[in-house]
Amino acid sequence: MENTQHELRASPLDASPTDVQDGIFADVLQPAVNDGQRQPESPGHFEMRLNQGFFNHSFEDLAALMDTNTPLLDDFDSFLSPSHIIPVIPPPQLTDPEPPLALLSPGIVARPETGETISRLGSRLPSLQPQEMTWRAPEPVRTCKLFESISSETRQLFITKMRQFSAVVPKPFEMPSRLALSRYLKAYLNGFHEHLPFLHVPTLSSDACCIELLLAIASVGAQYCLESEKAVQLFETSHAIAKERIQRLDDSTLPLGPKVHDRRGSDFAHSLRRYGSFMEVPGLTLRDSLSESQETLESRVQTAQALLLLMAEATWSNHRRTLRQALAIQSTLASLIRDDVLKAMPAPHDVSWEEWGKYESTKRTKWIVFCFFNLHTIVHNIPSLISSSEMDAMLMPCHSATFRATCEAKWRDSKVEETDTYFKEAFGRLFKEGTPRQDFAPNSTLGNYVLIHALIQHIYLVRQVLHPCDDGSAVILENDITLIELALRNWKSAWKQTPDSSLDSSNPAGPVSFNSTALLRLAYIRLNADIGPGRALHTRDPAQIANAFLEAQIIKRTPGLLRAVLHAAHALSIPIRIGVHVVAQTQTFRWSIQHSLATLECAFLLSKWLEALSSPVGDQPISSSEHRMLKLVRTMLEETDYAVPSILAVESRRGMRLLAANVLRVWASVFNGPTQVWAIVNIIGSSLALCANLVEHG
């Protein structure tokens, strides 16, 4: 928003003329009061009162009303959120004069939130009686939760933090208005955070939040608000500050207090630098680590969190200015995570909720970095920079109820049921017969998400070490397939035992569990079909992606492949059951990128399988199981706009090619909705539509 007048017009308070006359503007539009009785007022007197600024004061009253928890405000609770509340600032005429535009540095412009007339939505209007026209100095900025409504004081705090990095801030850069910041943070919280929950929202405060993390959150939130240009500006500024922060941290020595230095010596300082605040250092307790170095260590963690968000945004967007930076950020982030060491000691039971929140947030950050690197493997067919074996000594994430607790009392109640489990133990169970047993504590939803990513990475690495066959494909040995399928079955059993598991993307516990099921389908496909190199997603060009699909080899029909086809068909049934057009209109803000990636491979697998059926090799006839699957796919398409005409035999070459093309068209319809947050979803939809035409007429 460019100015506060715009902010006022965007307000959800849309009063009718009657409401205005009877309410907030009554003192202006009605005659003046004299001795307790209203007397007629001449038009000239009324005009004089307007010229004296009474009408402006009424706007200030309106601002005060919106900023206070009056009973009237409760009437709007159903559609008025805290992010719409306009914070209070003192009337300009009662404060020290300030320049209309303050240049903080050659690259940072602080546009004042105040202006003329309507933009002076001042504090609660002082009484119009002269003796009460006084104003008190504003109180110091109080610590507030980051995701609460951003006040003018909080925004100014962010600008002050950014002054420390003015030399590297891209010029010119203007901090978004407080209403825009509130909007972006709210969008991040309702959109991205639910899919990758690593920030401890209840305890993250505005004064303790590094500026690069704040800007990275705002950048992702701006993308969810469909303000892509603003998102790019915030991205570039956050990235520049993050790189500068890392440089300063690397160049500086760790500040240690004299007592700590005298007692532990330089070896302790080296360990603390290496292991971080919550890591496994011999003889070091969590209390020890909460020392003078804590601010430096937390800055390093928050910088890593900022880079994680920026890497995600660069990966899924189609801005050439950010896309090329995704893999570069990956390398920096991997170095930061390794510097903090991939180990974690159990959180002591005597720490405060706030201290535990930092501990769990740091741990989850490392896990989600591991998972996101694995997504890069899926998209770009490149090895992850962090292998699952490096995570063996990491504790699994806590349950969502514990992490989402909004107060210390709820946190302590939910924490009673927590059991510490290391990744090596949880991952090893998946490859053993008869597990998971009932006597094992269930994983958290994020724990299941981590484990399915580890299985996909395992499948990728097993396939990479195999020697290619004559046709260039790499076939996993039957013994390996049997063992990995055992692990996938055990994962499904563990998923079912997790209390928060759900196939509903709007589950109150979050969509992480739903996202994990998409990755399960992808794991079955990767296990039974070598299709990794054939997608060209890195080009972001639908034509190249479609041609890469067509040029990929026809997959071999095996019993194992049919199990993967069944998972692909199940994925197709979800939007058909809900309604293809409904999903196309709503999935943007509810489905994660993982679903888009898994869908792409499901569509590709079904299409290639149908192509294999239409071009049988040798004397291999269509089996009864394949025939049933074929009829199932055709029956599902009859519920859409892409049914195969009944006069066309599905077993014919023409019928199966049309069926393969229409499967791609259904998925293309799902991902060609009117609005997409991330550009890669549109690219996938366009690629599938092009591929469908090529398959049908090829």
Question: Does one domain contain both 523 and 544?
Answer: no
- In the three-class reduction of DSSP (H, G, I as helix; E, B as strand; rest coil), residue 103 is classed as strand
Q: 225, 261, 218: which is closest to 241 by C-alpha?
A: 218
Q: Are 235 and 310 in contact (CB under 8 A)?
A: yes
Question: Does one domain contain both 636 and 674?
Answer: yes
User: pLDDT digit string (tens) for 489-548?
Assistant: 999 999 999 988 888 777 888 899 999 999 999 999 989 887 655 567 777 888 888 888
User: pLDDT digit string (tens) for 571-607?
Assistant: 899 889 888 888 888 776 677 888 888 888 888 889 8
Tell me what the pLDDT averaged over the chain comes to.
Answer: 75
Question: Does one domain contain both 518 and 573?
Answer: no
Q: Residue 308 pLDDT > 70, yes or no?
A: yes
Distances in Å between the alpha carbon of 201 and those of 185, 189, 235, 444? 11, 9, 21, 18
Q: 297, 294, 299, 321: which is closest to 310 by C-alpha?
A: 321
Question: Does one domain contain both 606 and 521?
Answer: no
Out of 503, 528, 553, pick the residue that ends a domain: 528
| Within-domain flag for 690 | yes
Question: Does one domain contain both 556 and 692?
Answer: yes
Question: Does one domain contain both 408 and 463?
Answer: yes
pLDDT-based confidence at residue 47 (cuts at 50, 70, 90): very low
Q: Give 304-362 as a DSSP string.
A: HHHHHHHHHHHHH---HHHHTTHHHHHHHHHHHHHHT-S--PPPPTTS-HHHHHHHHHH
Out of 528, 555, 574, pick the residue that ends a domain: 528
Question: Does one domain contain both 553 and 516?
Answer: no
| Within-domain flag for 258 | no
Distances in Å between the alpha carbon of 435 and those of 419, 492, 608, 688? 18, 11, 35, 39
Q: Are 254 and 263 in contact (CB under 8 A)?
A: no
Question: Does one domain contain both 459 and 572?
Answer: no
| Within-domain flag for 289 | no
Question: Does one domain contain both 418 and 475?
Answer: yes
Residue 313's identity, in one-letter code, is E
pLDDT-based confidence at residue 362 (cuts at 50, 70, 90): very high
Tokens matching residue 629: 């699957």
> What is the three-state SS of 619-636?
CCCCCHHHHHHHHHHHHH
Strand residues in 65-166 grouped as ranges (E): 102-105, 108-110
Task: Report the domain count for the chain.
Answer: 3
Out of 494, 528, 562, pick the residue that ends a domain: 528
| Within-domain flag for 587 | yes
In this structure, how many other beta carbons lie within 10 angstroms of the beta carbon of residue 58? 17
Question: What average pLDDT does this structure show over 393-419?
Answer: 89
Q: Residue 281 pLDDT > 80, yes or no?
A: no
| Within-domain flag for 14 | yes
Q: Rounded CA gap, 569 and 38, in Å? A: 76
Question: Does one domain contain both 452 and 600?
Answer: no
Question: Does one domain contain both 122 and 19?
Answer: yes
Q: Rounded CA gap, 147 and 149, in Å? A: 7
Question: Does one domain contain both 605 and 461?
Answer: no
| Within-domain flag for 153 | no
User: pLDDT digit string (tens) for 119-134?
Assistant: 333 333 333 344 443 4
Q: Are 245 and 299 in contact (CB under 8 A)?
A: yes
| Within-domain flag for 318 | no
| Within-domain flag for 236 | no
> In terms of residue numbers, what domain contains 440?
341-528
